[in-house]
Amino acid sequence: MNPTLARLLQAPAILLLVLWMIVPLGMTIYFSTIRYQLLNPERTGFVGWGNYVFFYTDRNFWPAIWNTLTLVGLTIAITVVLGLALALLVDRPFRGRGIVRVLLISPFFIMPTVNALIWKNMMMNPIYGLFAVIWSFFGLDPVDWLTRYPLYSIVIMVSWQWTPFAFLIFMTSLQSQDQEQKEAATLDGAGFWPQLWHLTLPHLARPMAIVILIQTIFHLSIFAEIYVTTSGGPGNRSTNLTFLIFQQALSSFNVGVAAAGGVIAIILANIVAIFLIRAIGKNLAV
């Protein structure tokens, strides 16, 4: 095909994609530089860096940054470890393996809001939740998880939903592993752990990198679980950057400050992405 014709055919899709990204970003940057308070719409004007300073000096800003990084880091660590363990267990043939695979993958298709409601009402409720029943059965006082450990409770919710994603990626990758190498290693006397360290983990290096990158992108913007369960509390113990932006936009009705927070979130996401690409990007090389 003529290269010029190919570029002309691709141009509409590329132009639409660029507009899809540039227009919202441009509007966000624009609103972040003006005074736009919905409760006082008549007060407008250019404020420059004022919205950024207001958002940055908010007492909840640094706790929100810390909670965001903690939430992302713990969730990725749990999902990768559990996903790998489940994939290794299911990789071996046994009766009913297909049904087990479907059951292990199914939590990933639950909506985040429904996932949060399940954990809030059926699992972590201090009166009639499953954890409270187990605690009472052993003669212990039930724990109010969402009050005493709000951030870790959200980590558990998100990890439960995203472990199937890591499990699915690792399971499909293990099916392409060279079985002759494993058989040769077994004949040479290598046990499970040496094979895991020297054969399986190197084979899963690229899938792990993909899982970490994709989950990082999604977990930086976790919102539904926090909104449904803790509303960022108690205090700011479970407030992440996304929920802090929400508080400015729909609780304080300050669109300008919320837009400035959105720009800061974009910068943070790019910093994390650059760090991850430098750290694990070599595993994505062909």
Least confident of 20-24, 181-185, 265-269: 181-185
Structure-block tokens of residue 21? 């990204």
Q: Write down the pLDDT at residue 215.
A: 93
What's the CATH code, domain 69-176+184-247+280-284?
1.10.3720.10
Residue 174 buriedness (CB in 10 A; 0-12 / 13-18 / 19+): middle
Give the model confidence (pLDDT) of 243-284 as tens digits: 999 988 877 788 899 999 999 998 988 888 888 877 776 655
**Do 203 and 31 touch, CB atoms closer than 8 A?**
no
Residue 285 has pLDDT above 60, yes or no: no
Q: Cβ–Cβ contacts within 10 Å for residue 74, how many?
A: 18
**Do 234 and 253 touch, CB atoms closer than 8 A?**
no
Structure-block tokens of residue 59? 């007492």
Residue 165 has pLDDT above 90, yes or no: yes
Residue 12 has pLDDT above 90, yes or no: no
HSE-CB at 167 with a 13 A cutoff on CA atoms is: 26
Tell me the average pLDDT of the chain: 88
Least confident of 6-10, 75-79, 204-208: 6-10
Q: Write down the pLDDT at residue 147.
A: 92
**Do 157 and 115 touch, CB atoms closer than 8 A?**
yes
- Percentage of the chain with pLDDT > 70? 97
Give the model confidence (pLDDT) of 92-133 as tens digits: 888 888 899 989 999 999 999 999 999 999 999 999 999 999
Contacts of 66 (CB under 8 A, 6+ apart): none
Least confident of 64-68, 74-78, 199-203: 199-203
**Do 262 and 28 touch, CB atoms closer than 8 A?**
yes
Q: Write down the pLDDT at residue 47.
A: 87
The partner residues of 270 in beta bridges, in order of sequence, read none
